[in-house]
Structures are given as C-alpha cells and as structure tokens.
Amino acid sequence: MDVMPKWADVVLVPLFSLLLAAFLSALLILAIGESPSEALSLMVQGTLLRSAGWGYMLYYTTNFIFTGLAVSVAFHASLFNIGGEGQAMMGGLGVSLVCLFIPWPHWSLAIVGASVGAAVFGMIWAGLPAYLQAKRGSHIVITTIMFNFIAAGILNFFLVGALKPKGSMDPATANFPASTHLPTFEDMAQLLGFEKMFRSAPANVSFFIALLACVAVWYLIWRSPLGYEIRALGKSGPAARYAGVGSVKIIMITMMISGALCGLMAINTTQGESERLILNFTEGAGFIGIAVALMGRSHPLGVLLAALLFGFLYQGGAELALWTKIPRELIIVIQALVILFTGALTMMVRAPLERLFLMAWRG
C-alpha cells in the first residue's frame, strides 16, 4: 500500500536525503577545520551570484542532464547502465570525426551532424553490452563497466596515434575548424546586447539540446508505446513475456537510447567547450549520471533538477578549492553521500517519513 502521498515520495524523500548528505558534509568540513556556513556562502557566491558562475554551473549541468537521462531510461527497463563514461567517450570520438573530417558551412549544421555522430557512437558502445545481456546473459553492470575501460583504451589509442596532429606532444586531436564552434552563453548574451555576461564561461547552446532531450525522454517514457513496453519489461519480466513484449528487442533498444544520450554529452564538452578531443574529457560525468538519475527518480524533470544541483556542487566545489583548504574532492564525497542516501539507504529515509505520515493520518 502507498502510505505516503505521491508528492511526499517524490519531493520529501530526495530532499531529506540531500539534507542528510549536507549535514554529514558539514561535519566533514568542520573536521577539516573550515566553517560550513562560510563554505556554503562561498559556493553560492561563486555560482549563483555571478553570471560566469552560472555559465560554469550550466555547463556541468548539461553533461549531467545527458548522462542522468541515459541512466534513467535504462532504469525504466530495470537495466543499470554504468557505462556512461565509455559511451560518452565514444560519443566524443564520433563528434571529433564529424567535426574534423566533414567541412561544415555553419555551426547550426555542424551541431546536427555532431549530434548524430555522438549518438551513433554512444549507441554502438551501449548496444554491444546490451546484446551480450539480451542474448548471452552477461550481466549488463559488469559488461558496461568493462566497456568503460575499453573505451578509454580506444580513445587513448586514437589520441596518441591517428588523430594526433603531427609533431604535437599533446594527446589530443587538432582544433576543430571555426565553423563548427558552438555559440557560448557569452556569445548569445552579446547578441542580445548584454556585454560582460557569462564571461569566458563554457556553457553553450548544447544546454538547450539537453533541455530538448528531457522533453523527448518524457514523451518516450510516458507517452509512447515503446516507453510503455520499456516500463512493462522493467516492472515485470514474466508479465512482459505473457503480453508478447520481446525482452531482447526492448533491452537492445533501451540500452541504445541510453548510450545515445550519453554520447550526446560530447557535443557539450568536445564540440562546445574544448573544441578538440582530449583525454578524460568526461571527468566522471557518466558516473554522476547515476546519482542524478537516482535523485531525480528517473523522471526527466527530477533529472533536470538533480543535474542543476550537481552542477551547483561542481562549480561550488571548484570555488571552495580555490579559496579554502577544502579540496575539490569533497564534492565527490558529497556526491557519494547523496548516492548512498537516495539509492542504497532510501528506505532509511523513507521509513521514518512513512511512519510520520501514518501517525498524522491516525491523528
């Protein structure tokens, strides 16, 4: 039986999980010898009170939306895609090939081409483990995580070999041609007549593609027959079998959509920010996608909000590292705590809340 109303489940549980994580983080900051309240105000000042701070935050948020949506889509089919890192890396490879070897007349066309390249490469990289799961029964958690390492290896191979410009010492591709460069928030602000906005911040148009992806995923999961089948298989394998929903087909399609979303992250990082393919450009965003999806309850709106939160934590964490003794890694600790509370320990948060609601109902 549902003890709590839906809103409480959706809003209160993540909120309390977050508060618990924040509380423990505050203790940690105290232990380091800094003041938690000052740390918080530094974080807020460095992100929310400066337009450039927003520019950085939304750049991270864009990554987390893509990877968070990717993990969410897989979650709906009860599949755990831990391979976001690898799929995003392959997406980066796709973006680079499209940007380097096709002469694009304008960025608006280049972003379409790069999106297709990113999605297809991510799709293939998720499709292989999906096939192994669907047909051979190899567990997707194991295979996707192994595919992360393979992807890193492949990226390395290309960046020290075929894709590295002659004579360069840097494991990276050549810079993409100027016609593929995406307008940043700074460019857009200037276009609208605001000078000095989002100064040199990396956020770019791919943020809007991420927002579009949220809407698309919402339609896919809650409005389309395919989404219905994905959810049906995720909720009950035997029932899906009875209804004639083919598990092989659904596992393949779901994982490929998931991989495509991860791959799309590269249009933000690779085409939008670095404007060339570099090593380790994913910076763990594939894993943060898991936390984002857990916190966002696999709903696109929740993913968007959680991605904003993690964008804030990332940018705020950089500010902390800059001005205090608090290392940037603290953000990883906070992230781990959020995963712990929203994922593994969700019943620890939910059970007392449920008791509270039961008590309130009984009066």
Partner 1 sequence: MPGTIHGIIGENGAGKSTLMSILYGFYKADAGEIFIDGQKTLIPDSQAAISAGIGMVFQHFKLVENFTVLENIVLGAESGEFLAPSLRKARAELAELAAEYELNVDPDAVIEEIGVGMQQRVEILKALYRKANILILDEPTGVLTPAEAGQLFRILGRLREEGKTIILITHKLREIMEITDTVSVMRRGEMTATVKTSETSPEHLAELMVGRKVLLRVDKTPAQPKHQVLEVSRLNVVDEAGVLRLKDISLNVRAGEILGIAGVAGNGQSELLEVLGGYQSATGSIRVNGSEIDLTGSSSDGQSRRARGIAHVPEDRQREGLIMDFTAWENAIFGYHRDPDHQLNRFLMNNAAIREETAAKMARFDVRPPNPNLTAKNFSGGNQQKIVLAREIERNPDLLLVGQPTRGVDIGAIEFIHKQIVALRDRGKAILLISVELDEILSLSDRVAVMFDGQIMGERDPSKTNEKELGLLMAGVISEARK
Is 52 in contact with 201 (CB distance < 8 Å)? yes
Count CB atoms within 10 A of the CB of residue 177.
14
Closest to partner 1 by CB, 211 vs 232, is 232
* Shortest Cβ 156–partner 1 spacing (Å): 39
* Shortest Cβ 223–partner 1 spacing (Å): 5
Distances (CA, A) of 240 to 4, 75, 228, 246: 28, 16, 11, 7
What phi-psi label fits residue 80: left (phi over 0), alpha (psi between -120 and 50 degrees) or beta? Answer: beta
Count CB atoms within 10 A of the CB of residue 37.
10
* Shortest Cβ 222–partner 1 spacing (Å): 8
Select from 103, 193, 225, 363 the one that contacts partner 1 (CB under 8 A).
Answer: 225
Closest to partner 1 by CB, 139 vs 249, is 249
Closest to partner 1 by CB, 167 vs 225, is 225
Q: How far apart are CA 2 and CA 21, in angstroms?
A: 26
Residue numbers 232-291 binding partner 1 by CB under 8 A: 232, 235-236, 238-239, 241-246
Closest to partner 1 by CB, 1 vs 162, is 1
Closest to partner 1 by CB, 245 vs 279, is 245
Closest to partner 1 by CB, 114 vs 134, is 134
24 binds partner 1 (CB under 8 A): no
Residue numbers 321-340 binding partner 1 by CB under 8 A: none
The dihedrals phi and psi of 345, each to the nearest 5 degrees, come to: -105, 25
Q: How far apart are CA 67 and CA 11, in angstroms?
A: 22
* Shortest Cβ 230–partner 1 spacing (Å): 12
Angle at 336 between CA 127 and CA 290, to 5 degrees: 20
195 binds partner 1 (CB under 8 A): no
Q: How far apart are CA 315 and CA 4, in angstroms?
A: 35
* Shortest Cβ 15–partner 1 spacing (Å): 23
* Shortest Cβ 227–partner 1 spacing (Å): 9
Q: How far apart are CA 294 and CA 171, in angstroms?
A: 34
* Shortest Cβ 317–partner 1 spacing (Å): 37
* Shortest Cβ 248–partner 1 spacing (Å): 11
Closest to partner 1 by CB, 2 vs 195, is 2
Q: How far apart are CA 75 and CA 293, in angstroms?
A: 8
Select from 47, 110, 118, 231 the one that contacts partner 1 (CB under 8 A).
Answer: 231
Q: Which stretch binds partner 1 (CB under 8 A): 48-56, 147-155, 220-228, 271-279?
A: 220-228
7 binds partner 1 (CB under 8 A): no
Amino acid at 34: E
User: Hunting for tokens 């929740």 — which residue is that?
Assistant: 302
Closest to partner 1 by CB, 18 vs 251, is 251
Closest to partner 1 by CB, 7 vs 101, is 7
Q: How far apart are CA 44 and CA 320, in angstroms?
A: 10
Report DSSP state, residue 344: I
Burial-class residue 232 by CB neighbours within 10 Å (0-12, 13-18, 19+). Answer: middle
- Going by C-alpha positions, the residue among 132, 152, 155 that lies closest to residue 142 is 132
Q: How many residues bind partner 1 (CB under 8 A)?
A: 20
Residue numbers 300-319 binding partner 1 by CB under 8 A: none
Q: How far apart are CA 294 and CA 257, in angstroms?
A: 18
219 binds partner 1 (CB under 8 A): yes
How many residues comprise the chain?
Answer: 363
Closest to partner 1 by CB, 232 vs 279, is 232
Q: How far apart are CA 151 and CA 91, in angstroms?
A: 10
Give residues in contact with partner 1 (CB under 8 A). 1-2, 219, 223-225, 228-229, 231-232, 235-236, 238-239, 241-246
